[in-house]
């Protein structure tokens, strides 16, 4: 399950039973943690430092978006250095070529803002969790039928928040949903209560002054506080909220 182990096992394809087992383990880890930190910054060095601070602060699932300059190098370095219980994923994957490169450097889950078979298929073949996006019930079901392991609902905060997720879960109770986009840490429990399995939190919500100054110890403390806020029992939003 850990990154180093994943890198040793990484191949473009692997036996189907091995790939399925690896996916099941990674899904269990994701669903256990429920919260994923998303890194989208303008410099590779900052992305790497921020990821390490998030991990030190308690996050066990970290997504590095492909919009980060040198994202592949960041992912590869994190996969070599991160503790065994940490999952490192790639986000904003928008092509088959990007998907293959992310798999090659050890990413354990791939998140995409779109839904394409050419991204889902290589992920499944390599034992990597595939998380394409869907906004409407039709799009969510389409992604699921194409082989998604989880469907990303984005931007969740702009299309109805927890009330929307609750409504979608009515007719689609068996499709695991990841919510991200304008989601605040304090809203995490409301989304989970509404039926989401995973909540993506933008690490950019951490104090920018700490990121700019490279205060990684301060960022680790801030990350711990953000994770505590996300996990602390909160007053769940009503369907009308």
- The residue annotated as part of the active site, out of 33, 63, 98, 187, is 63
What whole-number distance in Å separates Cα of residue 95 and Cα of residue 98?
A: 5
What whole-number distance in Å separates Cα of residue 237 and Cα of residue 214?
A: 36
What whole-number distance in Å separates Cα of residue 205 and Cα of residue 47?
A: 14
Beta bridge partners of 152: 133, 178
- The residue annotated as part of the active site, out of 152, 212, 229, 235, is 152
Instruction: Answer yes or no: 24 catalytic.
Output: no
Strand 87-91's sheet: what is its strand order?
129-131, 109-111, 87-91, 61-65, 35-39, 198-202, 177-179, 151-153
Q: What is the DSSP string of 171-219?
A: T-TTS-EEE-SS--GGGHHHHHHHT-SEEEEEGGGS-HHHHHHT-HHHH
**What is the signed CA dihedral for 42, 46, 52, 54, rounded to 10 degrees?**
-60
**First-residue to last-residue Cα distance in the chain:** 38
Q: Give the pairing of strands 198-202 and 61-65.
A: unpaired
Instruction: Answer yes or no: 104 catalytic.
Output: no
What whole-number distance in Å separates Cα of residue 5 and Cα of residue 64?
A: 19
Give the catalytic positions in this structure.
63, 152
């Amino acid at each position: 399950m850990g990154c180093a182990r994943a890198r040793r096992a990484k191949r473009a394809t692997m036996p189907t039973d091995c790939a399925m087992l690896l996916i099941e383990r990674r899904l269990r880890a994701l669903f256990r943690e429920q919260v994923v930190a998303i890194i989208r910054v303008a410099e590779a060095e900052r992305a790497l430092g921020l990821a390490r601070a998030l991990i030190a602060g308690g996050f066990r699932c970290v997504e590095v978006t492909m919009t980060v300059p040198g994202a592949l190098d960041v992912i590869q370095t994190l996969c070599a250095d991160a503790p065994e219980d940490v999952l490192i994923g790639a986000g904003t994957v928008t092509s088959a070529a990007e998907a293959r490169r992310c798999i090659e450097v050890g990413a354990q889950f791939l998140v995409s803002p779109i839904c394409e078979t050419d991204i889902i298929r290589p992920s499944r073949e390599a034992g990597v969790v595939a998380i394409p996006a869907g906004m409407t019930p039709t799009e969510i079901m389409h992604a699921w039928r194409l082989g998604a392991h989880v469907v990303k609902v984005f931007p969740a905060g702009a299309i109805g928040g927890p009330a929307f997720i609750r409504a979608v879960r009515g007719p689609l109770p068996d499709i695991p949903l990841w919510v991200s986009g304008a989601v605040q840490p304090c809203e995490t429990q409301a989304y989970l209560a509404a039926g989401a399995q995973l909540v993506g939190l933008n690490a950019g919500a951490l104090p920018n002054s700490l990121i700019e100054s490279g205060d990684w110890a301060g960022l680790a403390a801030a990350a711990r506080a953000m994770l505590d806020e996300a996990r602390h029992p909160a007053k769940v939003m009503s369907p009308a909220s």
